[in-house]
Structure 1
Amino acid sequence: MAKLIGYARVSTRDQSTDRQQTDLLAAGVRRDDLYVDHGVSGARASRPEFNRALDALIDGDTLVITTLDRLGRSTQNMLTFAEELRGRGAGLRVLNLGGGDVDTATPIGSMLFTIMAALAQMEHEIKRERITDSIKKRRDAGLDLGGRPRRITDSQVRNAIRLIEGGEPAAQAARDLGMSRATFYRRARSLVE
C-alpha cells in the first residue's frame, strides 16, 4: 500500500516546525510517517531525519514537503533528487508550490517543479548577493555589523601592549585578557592604525 512520507525542517533550533507539520498532517501524512529535522541547514548533505524519511520510502510511496526550500538549495540538487525518487518508483509532492500542491508523478507537476526549483535557487542567490552587498556597504561606512559585543576594552588591550613592551610574553598577556593571541594581535593592530 502506497504511503505518504512527510518531511519538515528548520535551520535553527529557535524555529518551529509546527506549521509545516500541521500542513503535512492535513495533506494526509500519518504522524508515524512524519520526519522532522531541527537546526539543520538545507545546504547540508547529511540531514538525519531526511535520511530516515528516504530510507522509509518504497516503490509507490510519495515524499511530501511543504516548500521547495525544505528540500535543498540548488536547482541541480533538487532535480537530481527528484530524478532519483522517480528511479526508485517514489514520487515527490510539494504542498505550497505556485499556489497549490505539485506532484512530480505527473508531467505538468514535473515541469512546474523544474521551473520552481530554478526560481528558488535564483531567489536564494539574490538574497545572498543582497546580504553581501549590505555588509560591504556597512563595513565601508564604518558602521556596526552586529555580532558579539566586545568584552575587552581598548584600554585593557593598550595595558597589555605596555606589559609586552616591558617583557611579558604576548601569549601570556592574551591569555590574561581571555582571548587568543591572534585576536589580541588583531585588536592591538587596530589600535595602532
Structure 2
Amino acid sequence: MTKLIGYARVSTRPQSTDRQESDLIAAGVRRDDLYVDQGVSGARATRPQFDRALTALEARDTLVVTTLDRLGRSTQNMLDFAQELRGRGAGLRVLNLGGGDVDTSTPMGSMLFTIMAALAQMEHDIKRERIVDSIGKRREAGKDLGGRPRLISDSKIRNALRLVDSGEPAAQVARDLGMSRATFYRRSRELNAK
C-alpha cells in the first residue's frame, strides 16, 4: 500500500508550522504520517524528524512538502536528495508547484525539479544578501540593530572603569557587573569612542 509522508519545518522555535501542517493534511497526508522539525535550519545535514520521515518512506510512497525550500538550501543538496528518492523508488510532491507529483525519474520531472531547486537556492541567497545589506546600512547610519537590550547602563560602565583605573582587576570588575571581560572591554571602547 502506498502512502503519503508529510514533512514540515521551520527554522526558529517562535515560528509555527500550523499552515504547513494544514496544507499537508488537506493534500491527503494522515496526521500519523506527518513529521515536523521545529527550530531546525534547512542548511543542517541531519534533521531529526526529516530523518524519521525518510526512514518511514518506502518504495512507491510519496514524500509531500509544501515548498521546495523545506527540503534544503543548496541546489546540489536537493539534487542529491532527488537521486536518493529515485534510488528508493519513492516519489516527491511539492504543493507550491501546482500540487502535482514531481516524478524525478522522468527527464521532464528531473528538469523541473532541478530548475525549482536552483530557483529556491537563488531566492534564499537574494534574501540573505538583502539582510546583510540592510544591516550594513543601519550600522553605517548608527541605527539600532536590535538584539538584547543592554542591562548595564553607560554610567555603571564609567563607574567600573574608575575602579579599574584605581587598581581593581578588570576581570573582577566585569564579574561584579555580571558580564564577561570581553563585553566589559567592548563597552568601554564604545564609551571612549563617544
Q: Same fold, TM exceeding 0.5?
A: yes
User: Equivalent residue for 1:104?
Assistant: 103
- Mapped contact 1:102–1:112 kept (Cα < 8 A): no
Q: CA deviation at 1:121?
A: 0.4
Residues 14-35 of structure 1: per-residue CA shift (max 9 Å, x gap): 2222221122122221221111
Any gaps of 5 or more consecutive residues in structure 1?
A: none
Share of identical aligned residues, percent?
79
CA distance in 2, matches of 1:64, 1:112: 16
Give the partner amino acid of 1:103.
V
2:166 is aligned to 166
Q: Where does residue 2 of structure 2 map in the other structure? A: 2
Aligned to 1:128: 128
> 1:20-59 residue pairs with structure 2 within 5 A?
20-59=20-59
After superposition, residues 142-153 of structure 1 pair within 5 angstroms as 142-153=142-153
| Distance in structure 2 (CA, Å) of the matches to 1:16 and 1:184 | 37
SS in 1 for 2:96: strand
Residue 40 of structure 1: SS of its match in structure 2? coil
Matches of 2:142 and 2:150, distance apart in 1: 16
Question: Residue deviations 1:101-142, cap 9 Å, x none?
Answer: 342244433221111110110011011111111111111111
Can you give the 5+ residue segments of structure 2 that lack an aligned partner in the other structure?
A: none
SS at match of 1:60: coil
- Aligned-CA RMSD value: 1.3
Task: Give me the whole-angstrom Cα distance separating, in 1, the residues matched to 2:182 and 2:13.
Answer: 31
Q: Normalising by structure 2, report the TM-score.
A: 0.93
Deviation (angstroms), 1:5? 0.9
Q: What secondary structure does 1:6 align onto?
A: strand
Shift of 1:90: 1.0
In the alignment, the residues of structure 2 paired with residue 47 and residue 134 of structure 1 have an alpha-carbon distance, to the nearest angstrom, of: 30
| Aligned length, in residue pairs | 192
